[in-house]
Chain A
Amino acid sequence: MCSAKTCTGFGRVLQGNNGTIGEPDGFPGVKVQAGTAAIAPEQWGMSKSELSPYLNQISGRIEGGGGFQGISDVIGGKSPIPGMNVRDALQVMYPNTTLIELPSAAVDLGTRGITLSVPYQVPCPAGTRPGVWP
């Protein structure tokens, strides 16, 4: 039985803060793990509570190398646009991309092609659509 689908598109792949690894993250009971990603849940068409059961079943490959296995946090903190929360600000600055922040990444990877594996119950996030790269 195939329980996952592929979503392809573009991601804005941000360098995260490796100081958060091991800390309790944005999903209750979950600690930030190396090799996982932080996201903006609103891009995934589900509430945080709805998305929670699937965190460990989401993975991604990033064009040019690298990737992540599992979601373990929510992007937040200080915004590049005062008065607008950071997730909204990043979506304004990088439209039509999936926001992905990698706590383990050594550098900011910019905008890259991404291929995600997500459970069927989870919609493809903003910036991607179902299917493989043509």
Chain B
Amino acid sequence: MILGRLGLSLVCAISVTILVRGVATASWPEVAPFSANIYFGDADSASATFTIFDLRGGPAYLLECHAWTYQDPEFDYSGDWECRLRSTQEKHAYSTLLTDVPHPTRDWQSRARFLADQLVEKCAEYPEYARLRHFRLRGMKLTFLLEDIQFRTQAVPSLPGIERPAFKAFRFKLEVERDPSATSEIAESVPFVEPPYLHPESRGDYGRDCDHVKKR
């Protein structure tokens, strides 16, 4: 009897879970898969906007990617390459859906901001914070990959005499896929910690500790 009730409870729990996951998934538009591959010979002026369509052919999301030099009153781009995702079908509070921070206070709080210092030497292969990054949310998976990167140094205007690593040129590969197992409103967090600066208090020192992959 007790086992029977437990079994019933378990079935109910599974049903509720499936229902909740089903509702959550169904509330997002199903996106049409696509991919892109763009080479930017001048990283300072790198710029691309992608419309992600739903299966009926209507626009569902806008993915806007720019360098920090791009002026946008709606979003503060601050990366050497940074992408912002927003819905075209709803008003949401997040400045980008690619954040995995529930209550972000900055536009840059997402892994969709690529900084050159995250991609130099051994840091380039660090999972989810380097050349290859995945974002799972709203029934889809977005994959960003940077290749053919050429680096240079760039003066920091507010720090006379200081130079930082920057991109000279790069290739951006994008893949958008359906992923019904991704049900969150914003990007799922990844099981890794961003490689920290070796000297976070030091202005002008952009070295990161990428020797060991750190898990959350």
List chain A positions with a Cβ less than 8 A from chain B: 16-17, 20-31, 33, 38, 41-42, 47-49, 52-56, 73-83, 85-86, 88, 101
Contact = CB atoms under 8 A, between A and B. Distances in A.
Contacts of A16: 105
A79 B103 CA distance: 9
A85 B75 contact: yes
B108 A53 contact: no
Where chain B touches its partner, the secondary structure class is loop
Given A22-B201, A77-B103, A28 B78 contact: yes
Contacts of A48: 68, 71, 76
A85 B94 CA distance: 8
A42 B117 CA distance: 28
Contacts of B109: 76-77
Interface string B186-216: 0000000000010011011010000000000
Interface in B98-112: 99, 101, 103-109
Interface string B165-189: 0100000000000000000000000
Report which residue of B115, B162, B203 has the largest number of chain A beta carbons within 10 angstroms of its beta carbon: B203
B47 interface: no
Contact of B94 (A38, A47, A56, A78): A78
In which size bucket is the chain B interface?
A: 35 or more
Contacts of B115: 24
Given A17-B105, A27-B78, A54 B92 contact: no
B57 interface: no
Contacts of B158: 27, 29-30, 52-56
A26 B107 contact: yes
25 contacts: A16-B105, A25-B108, A26-B107, A28-B164, A29-B158, A29-B162, A29-B164, A30-B203, A38-B106, A47-B71, A49-B69, A53-B157, A54-B158, A55-B158, A73-B106, A75-B106, A76-B108, A77-B95, A77-B101, A77-B105, A79-B93, A83-B91, A83-B92, A85-B73, A85-B74
